[in-house]
Amino acid sequence: MKEGFVNKQKRHAQRAGLFRAAYALIAPRFNLENRLRFTVQRSFSSVEDCLGFIAGHADSVPTQGEFYIQNVSGTGETQRYLPNAVVESVECVQHAGVSCNFTYVVSGNGPWQTAP
């Protein structure tokens, strides 16, 4: 998978009205949430194998754990870890013959780390 991998980070802020202030105070609370969405395409040797995979795949995906990303290219290697990640959804978004596409949404607390 080289395309479709995107990261969306949400940050929590606290809005507080100050007495006799012209504007409200907005303070960061540093509760970072990283949410990832990506699609994986799989191909099988028969339609029956593909349908069997679609029927049981969501039940075999772990619900939480450390999320690890590694990319190796001609210019170097990138490794990132997202501890305590939670798989929010697993969805078959397309099925055509012997291939299917699954979209995964994973979220985790805190910033990305370079070591486990």
Q: Tell me the pLDDT tens digit for each residue of 24-36.
A: 888 888 888 888 8
Give the domain ranges of the chain: 6-109
pLDDT at residue 47, rounded to an integer: 96
| DSSP secondary structure string for all residues of 3-22 | SS-EEEEE--EEEEPPTT-S
Give the pLDDT mean for 59-84. 90
Distance of CA 26 to CAs 11, 13, 15, 16, Å?
Answer: 12, 6, 5, 6
In angstroms, rounded to a whole number, what is the distance separating the alpha carbons of residues 115 and 83? 10
pTM (predicted TM-score): 0.76
pLDDT at position 9 is 81
